[in-house]
Each structure stands twice: as structure tokens, then as C-alpha cells.
Structure 1
Amino acid sequence: MAVINPYLTFKGKCEEAFNHYKKIFGGKFSYLGRFEEMPAEEGFELTDSQKQKIMHICLPLDNGTLLMGSDSGDWAPKLTTGNNIAISIRAKSKEEADKLFNGLAKGGQITMPIENVFWGDYFGMCVDKFDINWMVSFNPEHIVEQ
């Protein structure tokens, strides 16, 4: 079965928050990527300040659980306390990722179609019919056996 992790989104304070969580939980970040690492997209320019914000960060906890997060940036003004958390699922196969994503998206809204993305995952995001935010990913290099 897939692994489920909390995914937190912040309005520019992700790095500060995750440094705080690292002091509490211990460990080291397994990944820290900034928005400046994203491929250029026509019609979407980032300021120097936005480029330094956290695109994605992972703090391994225990038994394969990851606390993950990012900054929303000024381009996501709808972010409010309460909708700033998503459930992230790491599937054990591409087929499982498709099944989970399609099931969760049915009757809801796809916010990012599931597809191969520049950081190497097969990834998609949706909001289910109950207004819960989901992220589904698969990467054969990140499979954690339970």
C-alpha cells in the first residue's frame, strides 16, 4: 500500500518553520529545493525574493514518514490557514499512482494533472469532492518497504 505523508504550505515561512521542526524532531533534510530551480515557464516570472523561497522540502521522521512542505508564493493568494495542508501519497507503482489519483480526483478538481515532472517523479495534485487536498507521486527510487 502507498505511504501517506503530511504536506504543509506556507506564505513565505517554510524555511523558518522547517528549521524549527528539525530542531524538534531531529534529523536532516533529505531534500531542499528552491523555486529558482524550476524550469523557466513562458509568462511566469519570479522575483529574486520568490526564487529563494522553498519549492519543496522533506524532513524524514520515522518508519518512512516524511514531513514535507513548500512556500505558496505570491501567485497563490487563495492560501489560508486550514487549506494549507495536503495529504501526500507515495505510491509503490505508476499504476497504483494512477488508480489513487483518478479515484481521488473523481468528482473533485484536478489542480495539476498526474504526469512526469522535472524533479523525476510521476506526480499530480487534486482536491477531492470533500475539499481535501491530495498529492500523488511515484518514483521507483523512493519506495519504502514497510
Structure 2
Amino acid sequence: MRAAPFLYFNGDCESALQFYQACGLGKIVELRRIEGTPLAERDGPAWNQKVLFSRFEGPGLRLCASDGADSEPMKGCAIFLEADDAGTAEKLFDALSAGGRITVAFKKQFWGDHYGNFTDKFGVQWAVGSAVKASE
């Protein structure tokens, strides 16, 4: 068994996944549209090209996502990305948080790790960190 976050975007799924791809998180490996499914009739023609199901993968990361017309807004959970070094973590933080709302600025925290968190421009909560190595 494995677990992967399943994100619901209520219309912005493809844009969000393209943004994550541009940030260097990985790539879209599967994308199925609503058109041609029973949901096409229910949701109407405006939703035909929206995403029914997608899979996004990168090194150490797998996300599933959909436009989910009837989905609840994302809340109560953050995707935590851990990088091997603070420089890489900071670049990810800066790229992914662009246009979003930063909750904790990325910096060396009182417990020693570099860490920050934010909600991106699509409403997904993220935490980015880099643990202190034993030699530091």
C-alpha cells in the first residue's frame, strides 16, 4: 500500500499542475478529461475539458488531482516537501509560494532546521523544509 494526496481544484487543476511542473516538482504523467464520461452530462459543456483524474509525479512525490466540481475546499492538511539542502528547499519555497500567502517565512527556525509554510495561489497548503545534518 502507498498513500498519495488527492487534490481537488474546482476548475483550476490543469493550471495548478502546470504551475507545479514549472516549479520543478515533477510532471503530469496522466490526465483524463470529463468529456465522454457520465459526468459530462451532469456538469455541462463548460466542464468537458476539465480534469476528471490526473497523476503528477516527481522525485519522491506523487499527487493525484481533479477539478472536482462538488469537492470541498482544501483545508487542514499540508504537503510537506523535504529537501537535502537549505538552498534547494528555499528555491522550492520561493517558486511554489509565488502569488500565494506565506504563513511562516522560510528561514532557519529555533529547532535548527530550515522551514517555512504557505498556501499557494490554488489554495493548496505546503510546508518546505531541510533538516540540519548531524555535522552542522
TM-score bucket (shorter structure): 0.3 to 0.5
Calculate the TM-score normalised by the size of structure 2: 0.48
Whichever of the two has the greater Rg, that structure is: 2
